[in-house]
Amino acid sequence: MSLLLVSKNRNLKPYKEALLELDPNLDVDIWPGIQNKERVQFAVAWRHPANLFDGFPNLKVISSLGAGVDHLLSDNTIPDDIQFTRIVAPSLSGQLADYVLTAVLNIIRKTDRYLDQQRRAIWRPLDSIKKDAIAVGVMGLGAIGEKTATRLRDNGFNVNGWSKSQKQIDGVNCYRKDQLGSFLAQTNIIICLLPLTPETEGILDLELFKSLKKPSFLINVARGGHLVEEDLIYALDTDLISHATLDVFSEEPLPESHPFWGRDKITITPHIASVTDPKESAELILENYKRMLSGMDLLHQVDREAGY
Ligand code: OXD
């Protein structure tokens, strides 16, 4: 029995080391160095090569190496009977909450504008936005969204939250799926933390931007596929959106020629809002590996139909 680690763009050695530190008897392969395909029962994947998982006769579970599973769900060649799980490490939601809080504070304290002024040796105080004059709105109230919403609440922000089913979170105004219009009308800073599914693809579009309370801002830490890029450019150019903070893009790395680069109303980071820690992930991977071997329910199992 072996466990396979696969990624086209991540160094997986620290994950293998962390797994072997927890259990030296594990048999762990890193793609493409696979000893014996028939022995692989559990795989951990992040941006795997197309069609890879079709040829493992005994593969039972694939875990995403992160919280998102869109890279697995979009691969139609993965047999239907393989179960998907994901890694929802406590530090992952904490990191995302920190990133979003920083982005929100940067917006209201106009940090980007001051950096630009500094580069040009301009001494000019700007009006900051008062916390109580605006509301932030978190789209997606799963484990990560809830952590982000409560972090913002605890820092004195008015917080709205929107999710598929009605949630109750202390101090957060929770709206359900069919209340999107009211949620947007009460929100200035929209924060996308939704899973990427056919239903949420392209949700950050011109219609949504028009429905926000003014001044309006966007923070996208979910997936590039949620955003209609040309609509954002139009919304920024027409001042419908005052500023966008983007950590995720439909093409990553963001190509050098992309029109987002060089726009002073966009802050770009290279998909670093949260990064899985090898030691913490290894514990969660091993827990699910043991659960699979003993036939127990997996932690953070993904509903392949629902898409999250
Ligand atoms: C994730 C991510 O899905 O880092 O964990 O985007």
CB distance 4 to ligand 1 below 6 Å: no
Query: How far apart (Å, rounded) are the C-alpha atoms in residues 281 and 46?
Result: 13
What is residue 285's predicted lDDT score, i.e. its pLDDT?
A: 97
CB distance 45 to ligand 1 below 6 Å: no
Q: Where are the alpha helices (DSSP H) in the chain?
A: 13-22, 70-73, 90-109, 111-119, 143-154, 180-185, 206-211, 229-237, 278-293
Residue 274 CA: nearest ligand 1 atom is 4
List, by residue number, the catalytic residues.
223, 271
CB distance 235 to ligand 1 below 6 Å: no
Would the pLDDT of 228 be above 90?
yes
Assessment of whether the complete model's pTM goes beyond 0.85 = yes
Domain with CATH 3.40.50.720 in the chain: 2-89+276-294, 90-268
CATH architecture of 90-268: 3-Layer(aba) Sandwich (3.40)
Distance 68 CA to ligand 1 centre (A): 5
Fold of 2-89+276-294: Rossmann fold (3.40.50)
Tell me how far CA of residue 38 lies from CA of 4, 51, 58, 96, 188, in angstroms: 11, 16, 6, 38, 53
Tell me, rounded to whole angstroms, the distance of Cα 89 from its chain centroid.
13
Would the pLDDT of 94 be above 90?
yes
Query: How far apart (Å, rounded) are the C-alpha atoms in residues 41 and 301?
Result: 16
Residue-wise pLDDT for 11-69, tens only, equals: 999 999 999 999 999 999 999 999 899 999 999 999 899 889 988 999 999 999 999 99
Distance 129 CA to ligand 1 centre (A): 30
Residue-wise pLDDT for 170-211, tens only, equals: 999 999 999 999 999 999 999 999 999 999 999 999 999 999
Distance 228 CA to ligand 1 centre (A): 20
